[in-house]
Structure 1
Amino acid sequence: MNIIIVDDDQFVSLSLKTILESSGEINVLGIGNNGKEAVALYETYRPEVLLMDIRMDEMTGLEAAEIILKRHSEAKILFLTTFLDDEYIVQSLLLGAKGYILKQDFESLLPSLKAVAKGQNVFGNEIITRLPDFLASVNHSQYDYSAKGITDKELEIIELVAKGRSNREIAGQLYLSEGTVRNYLSAILEKLELRDRTQLAVFYLTEQ
């Protein structure tokens, strides 16, 4: 798997390169120190995964991700940071990053890279446990979903997606087939101009 590593601490970048390449499954195409270099390296190498820190000089990882994903919606970005910050988590999800894990959770890094390369979303246990707090802390009555053409049934599905329910669970709760749920989700994503169910969940939790 070809990746790029971007971190403002060069020692961290070089250490990650050495450790990951020793697995025999990772090839590090390049290393950068800030968001500007991340954008340039992505344009040059088009890696399968961009592994990137968030807080960096000149341009943050979030700013770099926004630029890259606007140009290349297929880009797979995995944030690796020391900061368990609600705002960073939400911003990364809304941008369309594929994952957010903490540096101290190092043993999960290689499996996370593999999962992201396959198109899966990966978030560390610390991040997942915070999502219910997002759900409990917002008032969902303020956003006018009808202005986007969202029906009552679609809103029910959005709420269940935000609670982490699978298509099968949603189908069972709403007495629908899984195929019908998938069709509803496709329509919802198109109306709200979102990429996937992860962005949909975060949209529901934040766009209030």
Structure 2
Amino acid sequence: TIAKGIGRQGKEECWLIIAAEPGARLGIGFDADLDEAAMRAAALDGSIEHLLTWHTVAPGDFFYIPANTVHAIGAGVGLIEVQQNSDITYRLYDYGRPRELHLEDGVAVSKGERYARDRWHKSVAPRSSQQLVDGPLFLLDQVAGTPSPDIAARYPAALLVIPREGEVEVGGEAIAPGGCALVTSLADVRFADNGICLLARGCADAA
């Protein structure tokens, strides 16, 4: 699906690749700048798929997707998506499937621009603690084992815990990879010494 998810000022999101078949790709941004008329025409005739920049991916690739960036997930990609709190997505093109499109709203807010991969992409070591997003709309960290004091200080209140490897325990309940838990405090979470998980929270001053 080629889609642009937004709120009134746009929706920021990010993708951490956890599995990828050989040649798996993400479409983010365009090979050349498009104006609204060209984007609308490309969405109508299906050529928009071929105008996107397709990035070959591997496990550990991390992409931040700025608001109003047109993007698509290709076949053979497994990823974890974390985003600014928003329930709006504008779909420009859907490969002929019968889901609703939002062409005029989507074209109006989407940027027909190249994706600045050098700025927005990083590699994440598989068994490391690493800060992935540092606001202003949300925070995201990968944690190996129990969070260090500096990471814990970023999560003083409610947060999401997303296991990648190994289980975490919340209130006596095991949360396995593929699951997610909303907790009121890090003190409510028991981390496996050999586990890997993501921590995420929205920022209080986010619009």
Structure with more helix by fraction: 1
TM-score normalised by length of structure 1? 0.28
TM-score normalised by length of structure 2? 0.28
Q: Which of 1 and 2 has higher RCO (CA within 8 Å, sep 6+)? A: 2
